[in-house]
Amino acid sequence: MSPFIIAIILSAAILHAVWNAIVKTAADRTTTLGLVALGHVIPGLVMVLLLPLPNLQSAPYIAMSTIVHFGYFYLLGRAYQHGDLSVVYPIARGIVPVLVSLWAYLLLGEVLSWAVLAGIGLIAAGIILSNWVALRSGIGKTALLFSLGTGFFISVYSLVDGVGVRISGNTLSYWAWGAFLHLFIAGFIGWRKRGTLARLPMKVWLVGIAGGMVSITAYGLVLYAKNFAPLGAVSALRETSVIFATLIGFIILKEGNWKRRLGAAVLMTIGIIVIGLNA
């Protein structure tokens, strides 16, 4: 893997952590997530108009991915309502390769190697470490559950999109329609928040939509990198975003327990890389 591709993937990891920080620091996370979804729709619309249609067989997967994203956005907002960025993000992202490996075992009959099992163990240890006080005292269990739920939904849409994009005949077209159909998420949240949207400061609109642009750019960079490097290596390196999110959490947001949380993020990242390179 060339240094340029590595830089592309790490840039995507940083951007993904940044847009999650935007959501975490928002006064109204639900509205901000709606604006993030709108930030997906705008470039998605441009691509839909310019690119050919994906194969019809992939349409159910695009629809299913959109539905799953509803649950993902809801749980992500609730998780950040109850927990810090440096706890929620590493757990939500860290649990994904564990669940994807599990789905592959249950649905596709893939046998898990000892290396993958070791990676799962490292991620589990990182989750326990990041929530050690919460698990002992009962404080923060709600954040833990919402974080795990968020990771569950990420794993589901990752599986759905992984199958859908392969039968779409055009990766960019599949990605474009997936982004454009966030219109339903943005529209639903906009309807729910219709009483407050008109009073939102322009800064909030711009920050939310910019967060969506950052989010979709991060995905686009990963998509680009997958054309030039092994998929497992790209995915593994991409999940180093858990360290960047943790750094943002305690450097910029001044979240506490940074040594424990950084140690947990490092454990989960190592586990993710082990799974990514051996799954």
Local mean pLDDT, 10-residue blocks, the chain (279 residues): 79 87 85 91 94 93 93 91 83 80 74 76 74 55 88 86 83 90 92 82 87 86 72 68 81 76 79 72
Both structure tokens of 248? 């943002």
* Residue 182, phi then psi, degrees to nearest 5: -65, -5
Q: How far apart are CA 172 and CA 141, in angstroms?
A: 39
**Which pLDDT score is estimated for 181?**
94
Q: How far apart are CA 99 and CA 27, in angstroms?
A: 32
Rounded to the nearest 10 degrees, the angle between the axes of helix 3-25 and helix 59-82 is 60
Decide if 182 contacts 63 (C-beta within 8 A): no
Q: How far apart are CA 76 and CA 88, in angstroms?
A: 9
Q: How far apart are CA 207 and CA 210, in angstroms?
A: 5
Place of tokens 């001044």: 254
**Which pLDDT score is estimated for 139?**
47
